[in-house]
Copies of this chain bind each other. A is one copy, B any other.
Amino acid sequence: MNAIVDDAARLLDAAARAAKTAAGTLARTPRPAKDAALIGAAAALRHATPTILAANAEDLAAAPGLSGAFRDRLALTPARIGAMAAGLAEVAALPDPVGRVLAEWTRPNGLRIRRVAQPLGVIGMIFESRPNVTADAAALCLKSGNAVILRGGSESTRSAAAIHACLAEGLRAAGLPEAAVQVAPTADRAFVGAMLRAAGLIDLIVPRGGKGLVTRVLEEARVPVLAHAEGLCHTYVHEAADPAMARRILANAKMRRTGICGATETLLIDAAVAPALLPLLVSDLAALGCGFRADARARAICPGLPAANDADFATEWLDSVLSVAVVDGVEGALAHIRRYGSEHTEAIITGDAAAAGAFLDGLDSAVGMWNASTQFCDGGEFGFGAEIGIATGRLHARGPVGLEQLCTWRYQVIGTGQVRP
């Protein structure tokens, strides 16, 4: 066991040192070369489609016991490979986040001070079964001038290797170091442990996957992490909500896609409007195939709903299930969210600007919304072009993590001979 751990640490050390050197080059690479690498990789992906599909078929054949949902996430098709290639080209078209002057001012002594955006360095990406994350994450890291070490699920090793070969081809063609994008050289889980302990070698870890994976990463990592462990999002229907808008938004927030982190898991509805509105909301969602867990006050209005227990309100369903609680005003909604929420995304539906302001100001969540679907919590929908994940921590970045959030800054101070008194 120790031999495996030592071996993983050695492999990680070599990979991270090569990545750091490559990151030094990438940080000083102007936009055209980075874009050329992305566009070259996209062409290589399209060209290598048969090879990638064959590798993916081997991955699928090697794991016959997988569940249907898991197989679906793992399986690639020509359309999915085409979407990956299109994603690379889209990232190439985004503005370069490196070198942006974030702030600039002049001091009374004449010193000019500039805060300039700069890549973070080496990013470690830990994810589960979807092989497309290999291409998507590599593109965002490369465009933001960061080197990346990608560690996907062990079931997708062959698919990831085939995709990685295309990324390497793009880098080579653009004259950039191949070590800028690496996949884990071993499928051993000890390599993940080595990544999490690599303070000083890896600058940031981004985990993508289920709560189990993210929780392990957050607990074990000695390297900074940007992640969310849970997206237990609430939609609060205030007494001054437009009923038609509330019905339209809730149906979307819960049922558009139930498996994403921005999906609403709990409906909070004001006692003042619940008797009239809750039955309509319930029948809308039931018609879409949604089930319910309701508190006693909600069941007093809709007696057919199953009873919720305390644990239900703390559950991120990621499924066609909605927890329902009747609350008293904005303060009641905020108290419920503070008790059960995950500081991800919450929405209020109301026509009352003062109530909306009180709700948004009272939240501690990364994202607060007024009269919109919680499913808008997404880097693309925010206009970031793409996202590497959503962060609910408080340091460095909160909410969708796009190219700008994959940067740090440095100061440049320009003088004319000033000395400090």
CB proximity to B under 8 Å, residues A370-421: 370-373, 375-376, 378, 381-383, 393-396, 398-399, 408-420
Nearest Cβ on chain B to A160's Cβ, whole angstroms: 27
- CB < 8 Å neighbour of A372 from B28, B199, B367, B413: B413
Verify if A366 is at the interface (C-beta below 8 Å from B): yes
- CB < 8 Å neighbour of A414 from B252, B366, B370, B415: B370
- Name which of A131-139, A241-249, A282-290, A296-304 contacts chain B: A241-249
Q: Does B375 contact A399, Cβ atoms closer than 8 Å?
A: no
Contact A413-B370, Cβ < 8 Å, known A113-B382, A113-B383, A408-B395: yes
**Which partner residue on chain B sits nearest A105 by CB separation?**
B383
Q: Does B203 contact A372, Cβ atoms closer than 8 Å?
A: no
Verify if A9 is at the interface (C-beta below 8 Å from B): no
Q: Does B419 contact A410, Cβ atoms closer than 8 Å?
A: no
Q: Does A418 contact B121, Cβ atoms closer than 8 Å?
A: no
Nearest Cβ on chain B to A227's Cβ, whole angstroms: 13
Nearest Cβ on chain B to A371's Cβ, whole angstroms: 4
- CB < 8 Å neighbour of A413 from B199, B367, B395, B413: B367
Docked complex Cα distance between A419 and B255 (Å):
11
Contact A395-B203, Cβ < 8 Å, known A113-B383, A376-B413: yes
Q: Does A368 contact B413, Cβ atoms closer than 8 Å?
A: yes
Nearest Cβ on chain B to A102's Cβ, whole angstroms: 10
Q: Does B395 contact A395, Cβ atoms closer than 8 Å?
A: yes
Q: Does A383 contact B107, Cβ atoms closer than 8 Å?
A: yes
Residues of B within 8 Å of A373, CB to CB, are 418-420
Nearest Cβ on chain B to A69's Cβ, whole angstroms: 22
Of A28, A111, A242, A399, most buried by chain B (CB within 10 Å of CB) is A111
